[in-house]
Amino acid sequence: MREPSLLDRLVERVTRRVAQKSSRRGFLARLGATVVGGVMLPLLPVDRSGRLRRAHAQAFAEQAQTRDDTACNYWRYCAMDGYLCTCCNGGVAECPPGSEPSPTSWVGSCINPDDGQVYLIAYRDCCGKGVCGRCPCLSTEGEMPVYRPQLSNDIDWCFGAKSMVYHCTTAGLVGRA
Amino acid sequence: MQRRGRILCTATALVLLAAMSATARQDIEVLPEEARLVPEEAFGTRVLPAPTPHWIYVLDVAFDNLVASRVNIFDGDSGDFLGVLHSGYVPNVLPAPNRREVYVVETYWTHGTRGRREDLVTVFDARTLEPVAEIPLPQGRALIVSKQPVAQLSDDGRFLLSFNLSPATSVSVVDLEARAYVGEIEAPGCSLVYPTGARSFSMLCPDGSLADVRFDASGTAEVVDNDPFFDAENDPVFEHAARDAAGRTWYFVSYDGRIHEVGYDARGRTAPRESWSVLTEADAAEGWRPGGWQLVARHPGNGHLYLLMHKGPKWSHKWPGEEIWVLDPEANRRVARIPLEEPAVSLAITGDDSPLLVTLTDTGVLSVLDPGTGERRRRIEGAGVTPFLLDSFAP
């Protein structure tokens, strides 16, 4: 087993707090009260426990590649659900013209086949324009139902953006998991 | 006749203009008379007959143009297309128990994909397909690719319960009789709506437990936590579940093929009963697992569960079903397998005494099957471009 990183420890601590029945309500209620500029910012705990098991990410990684970010099997898209912003004249971490990056995201842990390492990926929707409609991709590696929102890719993740209208999805690199 | 026609047209135009004062003018008077000829034969708008439990409401979320979804309505007996309800962003469709109305919970922006956001419950007349009331949802609603437990009706049909994800979680209560928003029930961290009575429902929480909610007509609620009944880390349950209302049981299905039976009492307090696997060791070795979207339904007569199954690896939980497995939840075993000619993402069973089994492919092929023999009676193309959900009226 590798040594847990600082991020891992932080995440696990938050997850444990949420998992504790007694503190769940109070904790999330406090989160719910965090209002910035009139927009409720989601600060749901990042829970990656299900995703960090290499075996889970492995199936996607086996057919993944690191060259073409407009293909569904690009390594960062292991938990992608939506239209690729890279096919809509955006980037893997850049929104297409006229759309706005959501400040919030769901997460996945994907293996980079070049170095075999697990990386934390933030799937960030670009918002404020209608659906781009190019390169639909659905990957469900470690994807959870909507009652575990941070790991669910069926949710419109434009929380905190000016508009909840969904355009496309990016896959930003957070760091080594 | 011509004069009367003109007066009628003028009157109609005036009414239209008065009703839509901010919209474009309609000066049909400038059109030549031929453009306003009144045919001799009767000419009007068709009204549907009284709906039957075999009418199928197919929700097409229109994934490539989410702001303009639609509900295509088919007669499962004849295969006929009956009409369409146009709907907004990731809506929920709820046929009313009284069979006179269909509720659509939906979201719009005033300028299509731009402008002010509006969330509402639209009440459609089931026979004219006209909107007869609009009830605003001031707390918005969860914008999730449409799943049935995102909005549900109380058992008596009086209240509509709409899940909110802002991303703080709560449920909006709408009084359909009064056509009014009543209030918001806070249920921090817990999601979705599983009705358990006329004034109660439960919600799924991230730790694998249910929160039981009792509410009254004023929207005042009491929320009770329970212990986890499934392993939310390693084997979560799908959002779509099947219910036996008379037997007060919910059947939840897990990714790895376990059925979790949860009973509830008259006050809506839940208690897990048992859980069992639909897979034998041989099934598991072959890689069978449940999957799809609306993946489970209960036969109202014999109580069997119909579950979409496919062969695939772990995390293939959204793959369409190659077979339907018919399960007896009394004996905890499979009683039949129905191979599907076309893999299906969703299925439903109508609620009447001689029910239809209906399946839907992600390319919009609707199939009507005999739930007893599994024989396909009808194949209907064009049910939608990216359809997800099937609804019907209770008998």
Q: Per residue in B31-43, pLDDT tens? A: 988 888 888 898 8
Look at residue A177 in the predicted model and tell me its pLDDT: 84
Residues of B in contact with A131 (CB under 8 A): 63-66
H or E segment at A59? Answer: helix A54-62
Look at residue A15 in the predicted model and tell me its pLDDT: 37
In a domain, B5, yes or no: yes
What percent of chain A is predicted at pLDDT more than 90? 63
The CA distance from A95 to the nearest CA of chain B, in Å, is: 17
Residues of A in contact with B225 (CB under 8 A): 21, 25
Report CA dihedral (B33, B37, B38, B40) to the nearest 10 degrees. 130
- Closest residue of chain B to A34, computed from CA coordinates: B168
Look at residue A41 in the predicted model and tell me its pLDDT: 37
Look at residue B295 in the predicted model and tell me its pLDDT: 98
**Residue B324 · residue B308 · CB < 8 Å:** yes
Task: Please tell me the distance from the alpha carbon of residue A105 to that of residue A158, in angstroms, as a whole number.
Answer: 8
Residue B143 and residue A155: Cβ atoms within 8 Å?
Answer: yes
H or E segment at B17? Answer: helix B2-19
In a domain, B11, yes or no: yes
Residue A42 and residue B167: Cβ atoms within 8 Å?
Answer: yes
Determine the residue type at B93: V
Determine the residue type at B387: P
Look at residue A13 in the predicted model and tell me its pLDDT: 33
Beta strand B333-344 with A81-83: parallel, antiparallel or unpaired?
unpaired
Look at residue B34 in the predicted model and tell me its pLDDT: 87
Q: Is B231 helix (H, G, I), strand (E, B) or coil?
A: coil
DSSP B161-189: EEEEESSSEEEEEEETTTTEEEEEEE-TT
In a domain, B7, yes or no: yes
**Residue B89 · residue B95 · CB < 8 Å:** no
What is the average pLDDT across A93-122? 95
Largest CA distance in chain A: 47
Domains of chain A: 47-176 (2.60.30.10)
Look at residue B272 in the predicted model and tell me its pLDDT: 98
Comparing C-alpha atoms, which of B187, B342, B167 is closest to residue A46?
B167
Residue B310: alpha-carbon gap to chain centroid: 23
ipTM: 0.91
Length of chain B in residues, anyone?
395
H or E segment at A102? Answer: none
In a domain, B6, yes or no: yes
The CA distance from B36 to the nearest CA of chain A, in Å, is: 38
Look at residue A28 in the predicted model and tell me its pLDDT: 33
In a domain, B29, yes or no: yes
The CB density around residue B311, as the number of other CB atoms within 10 Å, is 14
Q: Is B49 helix (H, G, I), strand (E, B) or coil?
A: coil
Chain A residues touching chain B at CB-CB below 8 Å: 18-19, 21, 24-25, 28-29, 31-32, 40, 42, 44, 47, 49-50, 56, 59, 104, 128-131, 133, 136, 138, 140-149, 154-156, 158-159, 163-166
Say if pTM beats, i.e. exceeds, 0.80. Answer: yes
Length of chain A in residues, anyone?
177
Look at residue A38 in the predicted model and tell me its pLDDT: 33
Does the active-site annotation cover A47? no
Look at residue A2 in the predicted model and tell me its pLDDT: 37
Determine the residue type at B101: E
Which residue range forms the structural domain that includes residue B34? 1-44
Domains of chain B: total: 1
In the predicted model, residues of chain B with pLDDT beneath 50 are: 1-18
What is the average pLDDT across A140-149? 94
Look at residue B26 in the predicted model and tell me its pLDDT: 85
What is the average pLDDT across A115-140? 96
Residue B167 and residue A141: Cβ atoms within 8 Å?
Answer: no
Look at residue B28 in the predicted model and tell me its pLDDT: 87
Residue A133: alpha-carbon gap to chain centroid: 20
